[in-house]
Structure 1
């Protein structure tokens, strides 16, 4: 019955109680701000949006647990309740509050992202191209102190060989995040939400919002 579950994943119910437990925890401030409305809406509306936001986190956690099992990844020690961790503001900006919070709270989501990162192959040509297009990011410490134009003196730029590994890690991390988003889009395509637990940005419910 719809009164008993927040969502169904492959026909299996996620109890509303899981969402309420998550809501009852002390969410990090950054996540709480993103989970609420950004205007002067009535408290009831804010609570509805918080519940929809929290449902997304719980659903992603469930989907990640399933995918980890399918991939043979070591399951998290304690899937419920999810551990509360601080969400870096940069992650909220880069990923959106829902995915950032899911990765912060769900060991399964983090395990899946780590596996995806290990799978990414970054061609040498892509690493070199990134370096050539972003020379201003690789000024030497002395050049930074002097405030030089990075394109006037080649000696003011760190050699490619010194920064190659760091660039590769950065590109691999970015590719893994894109792969995570692709996985999530596919994984939650068949999720069915109970009324009042839809995605906060779903335009089919009356007080939807697109801030994630």
Structure 2
């Protein structure tokens, strides 16, 4: 990433577009405390009610302890988000372990939350006790997104949240993101389908080779405009 500067506002969905390898994943991981950030950089989080917090140099646990309501749906569902050999309740409990909390030790609370996710998001599973890897990709993603939004985040970041999913599951995810927006959260959505980005997002930040090549209004921009920015031709096209 090189001199990336932007603002994500509460109550909006900020799309992030770019060809593969332009820095989309690294950007979200840096904000989440999972990527090293160069000295002199700044990631400022301003909660709805509270003082500004700089997240640079903070680990995910540090970010949680600061009271920053940050939720992250990573690109790698099982590598970073969930554990395939564990059941639904254990995967719900996993987020509390990452945050350094000792709650849920009796398993009643995580099981109740897991059941709520299954009911609310229509997760197809024979029980809460089977390993998560035995579910379809769409149902796995519902569990991951449901777990992350259960904490009512102020900032929700998703990386390729609908990759490989069927159309019905994809629309379920889009609906959940819009709900978070309506609740006042700032939603950052990394996606591949320009039609979806233009329809879903209020604004779209376009990356090219680790740099911001433009920010456009989601419902006013044209696909060709975004495509040009993705290849750094946007400035030339305006010349």
Shorter-chain TM band: under 0.3
TM-score using structure 2 length: 0.25
More helix by share: 1
TM-score using structure 1 length: 0.27
More strand by share: 2
